[in-house]
Structure 1
Amino acid sequence: MDPALMLPPSPDRRWTLAKQLGVTSGVVRFWGVDDWWEYDTLLRTRNRFEDHGIPLHVVEDRPPMTNTVLGKDGRDEEIATVKRLLRNMGKLGIETYCWVWTENPVGVLRTSDSIPDRGGSLKTGYDHEWSQRADDHPEADITEDELWENLEYFLDEVVPVAEEAGVNMALHPDDPPLSPVRGVPRLVTSVDNYERILSLHDSPNHGVTFCQGNFAAMETDVPAAIKRLGDRIHFVHFRDVEGSPDSFVETWHDDGPTDMLAAMEAYRDVGFDGPIRPDHVPKMLGEEDREGVHAGYTDMGRLFAVGYIKGLLEQSE
């Protein structure tokens, strides 16, 4: 397994910290970059990572797909962009595409980013009661059956392209993993639903981003879920939460309910050998918000998490 960090597409202090930590796998998200899926943009980004000594293995972003998720006019044009992304990734040897099947305005939701934890560190959390006080999303009339139909249409179009390009598609869970949220159903909310989604295309290129915090919030046994999804896991978000889908808080990596060593051993048991990155860390003393740095992605907690991951990797060998 390769310790990884999510980094911006151009070098900054986070790149330097990643190199100092011995991170061996790069994950990119294109904050504020237009048309980032085009070949030349991906080429320059891939080569920046390579020149810095951190191979780029994962694109963790998604072109606009609102019409695709909702099954509206314009989805074929959006899907054509995803196909172009996959083909360009294949040409450049970027192995994994992490994506979500969620309408963006009700994507990842948190209702607090300042919950006190040990030593005055601050963590994020979600309370469904507060979230549901918001107005319903404008597309709240879509049904779960329609979302399943739209997902199958999308996969029928893109999985063959991923196979041809040699790129792994790794579907991230809905966050929070419950349905509906603000009136919009969600599909990627349980291990059972994951197995149904994977059965739509029995292809090794159609797999999972195993975000441990979401699986913990599903109130499932995380090591057992890893073994159920097995060799369809292409990418790991290593984190933990305490609570239920309706009400949970992020935890320090060493202070949550999940047996993290057992999870690491489960990845080895199923043969996973890909990138594994920390996710959603607490904010520590003296850390100020910087432009482009979101709650859960400040530096000091990620330094702790990478060290913790590397220790678990050694212990699980």
Structure 2
Amino acid sequence: MDTSLMLPPRPDQRWTMAKQLGLSTGVVRFWGEDEWWTYDSLLRARNRFADHGLSLDVVEDRPPMTATVLGREGRDEEIETVKELLRNMGRVGIDTYSWVWTENPVGVLRTSDEVPLRGDTRTTAYDHEQSERGPDYPVDVTEAELWDNLEYFLEEVVPAAEEAGVDLALHPDDPPVDSLRGVPRLVNSVENVQRILDLYDSPNHGLTFCQGNFAAMGADVPAAIRQFGDRIHFVHFRDVEGSPEEFVETWHDEGQTDMLAAMEAYREVGFDGPIRPDHVPRMLDEDHRDDAQAGYTDMGRLFAVGYMRGLMEQAGIESGSD
């Protein structure tokens, strides 16, 4: 199992932190770069990581896909861009593409970003009743249409992933509610996730197993890990307290999930891919960072990596990090 961090495409203090933690793998998000899915862009990113002693294993960024999700004009052009990305990932040797579905066009929503946790650390939360007072998104799509559009996408893209030797890793909806601001959500339950995997039965069509989302769904997280088994290609290690309609992001050791049991389940199913901490609380003097509200501040991730390493050792898992 490879303990990883989400990193920008160019070296900064986060790259240094990863190496000082003894990590050898990274996950990249391109944070606003244009047309980063070209061969040359991905090759340069992959080589930057290699030149700094890091393996780039996951692309966790997405070309535009709103027309694809909604079944609008232009979806075939969007899908062709995804295929181009997959082909180029295969050419440069990046194994996993983490993507989302019905987060397009709504995205990830939170209603609070200053909820206090232990020691006056701060975290985010979601309240569905408050969120739904806001205006609906200006789209007209039914749940049935979203399922049809998803099947169309998978029939086009999974063969391209198979040919490229790249794993598709679908991330659940966040928050995993039935509908958000008038837009139905699909990736919001264990049953729907299984249905999506069954739409195209391929080892290359799998999951980003985001523990916080499965916990918010009310799922038994270790049981879900065992259910999806070798279809898990990438893990977000995080936790929450609450339900789909109302939850708070927690410290990794204070949520509703038995995190050691989760690690033991990964060992049982033979998961050996990248796993990274996600959505950490904000600690002292981290308000200056541009991403201070986004759950990716550094001190919380330091705590999370140490906690994960301890759980791995207790569960008898060998870390792929140095």
TM-score normalised by L of structure 1:
0.98
Measured after TM superposition, the shift of residue 257 of structure 1 is 1.3
CA deviation map 1:29-80 (0-9, x unaligned): 0101000000100000001111111100000011000100000010000000
Counterparts of 1:133 and 1:148, CA distance in 2: 26
The answer to whether the Cα contact below 8 Å between 2:3 and 2:23 also exists between their aligned partners in 1 is yes
CA deviation map 1:198-232 (0-9, x unaligned): 01111000000000000000011100010111110
Counterparts of 2:95 and 2:118, CA distance in 1: 38
Look up the equivalent residue of 1:72 and give its one-letter code: R
Give secondary structure in 2 for the equivalent of 1:23: coil
1:303 aligns with 302
1:245 aligns with 244
The answer to whether the Cα contact below 8 Å between 1:66 and 1:103 also exists between their aligned partners in 2 is no
The answer to whether the Cα contact below 8 Å between 1:109 and 1:175 also exists between their aligned partners in 2 is yes
2:221 aligns with 222
CA deviation map 1:76-95 (0-9, x unaligned): 00000000000000011100
Q: Which residues of 2 match residues 145-156 of structure 1 at below 5 A? A: 145-156=144-155
Give secondary structure in 2 for the equivalent of 1:235: strand
Measured after TM superposition, the shift of residue 287 of structure 1 is 1.1
1:67 aligns with 67
Look up the equivalent residue of 2:237 and give its one-letter code: F
| Distance change >3 Å, CA 30–CA 313, structure 1 → 2 | same
1:195 aligns with 194
Counterparts of 1:114 and 1:288, CA distance in 2: 11
2:289 aligns with 290
Counterparts of 1:177 and 1:298, CA distance in 2: 24
1:93 aligns with 93
Counterparts of 1:50 and 1:307, CA distance in 2: 24
Question: Gapped runs of 5+ residues in structure 2?
Answer: 317-322
The answer to whether the Cα contact below 8 Å between 2:114 and 2:123 also exists between their aligned partners in 1 is yes
Look up the equivalent residue of 1:110 and give its one-letter code: R
The answer to whether the Cα contact below 8 Å between 1:96 and 1:234 also exists between their aligned partners in 2 is yes
2:115 aligns with 115
The answer to whether the Cα contact below 8 Å between 2:103 and 2:173 also exists between their aligned partners in 1 is no
The answer to whether the Cα contact below 8 Å between 1:174 and 1:188 also exists between their aligned partners in 2 is yes
Which consecutive segments of 4 or more residues in structure 1 shift more than 3 A?
none
Counterparts of 1:103 and 1:249, CA distance in 2: 19
Measured after TM superposition, the shift of residue 293 of structure 1 is 5.1
1:133 aligns with 133
Question: Gapped runs of 5+ residues in structure 1?
Answer: none
CA deviation map 1:244-272 (0-9, x unaligned): 00000000001111110100010111111
Measured after TM superposition, the shift of residue 104 of structure 1 is 3.4
Counterparts of 2:37 and 2:259, CA distance in 1: 35
CA deviation map 1:107-149 (0-9, x unaligned): 111111110010010011100011101100101x310000000
The root-mean-square deviation of aligned C-alpha atoms, in Å, is 0.9
2:56 aligns with 56
2:34 aligns with 34
The answer to whether the Cα contact below 8 Å between 1:69 and 1:103 also exists between their aligned partners in 2 is no
The answer to whether the Cα contact below 8 Å between 1:31 and 1:292 also exists between their aligned partners in 2 is no
Give secondary structure in 1 for the equivalent of 2:15: helix
Look up the equivalent residue of 2:200 and give its one-letter code: H
1:178 aligns with 177
2:157 aligned with 1:158, yes or no?
yes
Q: Which residues of 2 match residues 259-298 of structure 1 at below 5 A? A: 259-292=258-291, 294-298=293-297
Look up the equivalent residue of 1:243 and give its one-letter code: G
Counterparts of 2:79 and 2:257, CA distance in 1: 37
Matched length: 316
The answer to whether the Cα contact below 8 Å between 1:68 and 1:75 also exists between their aligned partners in 2 is yes
Look up the equivalent residue of 2:236 and give its one-letter code: H
1:124 aligns with 124
1:83 aligns with 83
TM-score normalised by L of structure 2:
0.97
2:320 aligns with none
The answer to whether the Cα contact below 8 Å between 2:103 and 2:174 also exists between their aligned partners in 1 is no
Give secondary structure in 2 for the equivalent of 1:104: coil
Counterparts of 1:300 and 1:97, CA distance in 2: 27
